Amino acid sequence: MIKEIIDLINGYGKFFITAHVKLDGDALGSELALSRLLGNLGKEAVVYNQDPTPRNYHFLPGAGDIVHVLPPLEDFDAAFILDCSELERVGDAAAAIGKIRQLVNIDHHVSNDGFCEIRLVDTTASSTGEMIFRLLTALGADIDREIATNLYTAILTDTGGFRYGNTGRETLAAAGVLVGRGADPQWISENIYEKFPRARIMLMARVMQSLSFDCGDRVGSLTVLRRDLEETGALPEDTDGLVDLPRAIDGVSVSALFTEIGEQRFKISLRSKGAMDVARVAAVFGGGGHVNAAACRISGDIATVKRLLFAAMELPE
């Protein structure tokens, strides 16, 4: 399939690139690296995202050129849909984007539904960034500092800083090559993880008060209510990473973050240690993800939502 994608890149001139809503480092780094690659090859590429770029990713080379208003889609020869397991993940424009002549999906989610013919899906890859790295290598394309910085960011963030189970030998080898091409690990980490606004830490302090344990103390959870954001001045993106906090507790194998997204409606982010498959739990409620990281939405008051979720985990009470 990589051959088909290379032929398509060589054969066409104008490319549309997008990724999922609720942007993360993998989505952004993959988009910007691919866009830069296409530009280096003399092609035209536009990166479109429905959502704004989170503040801590503004440093990524090319981030300022991302558009958030849909350009005329009939101009494009092909569209790259990155880090998406379903076309719908790109947001409200999914149906329109789906009409672009040629769709290419590059992704690593286990729940990928194979929505288009030309696709590069490897559920063993750490990140879409690692797959873009393979594509670049197969193309024999030059990896400049801009590409290296974006791909290193994609891999770094999707592996939780090279800590998760998806961190393989190839992952680290790719990261090594990228550092050799100018990606600066310290500068990149500082930008992503150590430039938070004060409101984010105030939100964290407040949300930590909601820490609770269930299922025989094997599940640790936090709850973010809308008023927590309002009263601290934090933004929705400031809840990123909160889900990882309970998982760091000894004896906790699953962490859950309940985020109030509407009247009697919660988004639940799940993280697990080891073999516990949270994608299966999320799927019970129509969600999805990976073995160790998944998400879903459930309606009801917080007590009901918690009860439904914990019942689906089938862990001893």
Binding residues vs Mn ion (CB under 5 A): 26, 83, 127-128, 158
Residue pair 237/274 in contact by the 8 Å Cβ criterion: no
Q: How far is the CB of 89 from Mn ion (least distance, A)?
A: 11
- Sheet arrangement for strand 14-19: 44-47, 14-19, 78-82, 102-107, 118-121
Tell me the backbone φ, ψ of residue 146, rounded to 5 degrees. Answer: -65, -45
Round to whole Å and give the CA distance between 222 and 214. 11
Smaller CB separation from Mn ion, 26 or 31? 26
Question: Residue with CB nearest Mn ion?
Answer: 26
| Shortest distance, position 109 Cβ to Mn ion, whole Å | 7
Least Å from the CB of residue 210 to Mn ion: 28
Q: Is 243 helix (H, G, I), strand (E, B) or coil?
A: coil
The smaller minimum CB distance to Mn ion, of residues 26 and 214, is found at 26
CB of 280 to Mn ion, least distance (A): 19
**Collapsed DSSP state (helix, strand, coil) of residue 295:** strand
Question: Between residues 108 and 306, which has the closer beta carbon with respect to Mn ion?
Answer: 108
Nearer to Mn ion, 24 or 238 (CB): 24
Q: How far is the CB of 125 from Mn ion (least distance, A)?
A: 9
**Beta strands 118-121; 102-107: pairing state:** parallel
Nearer to Mn ion, 47 or 234 (CB): 47
Which residue is listed with tokens 């030309």? 118
Q: DSSP state, 126?
A: S
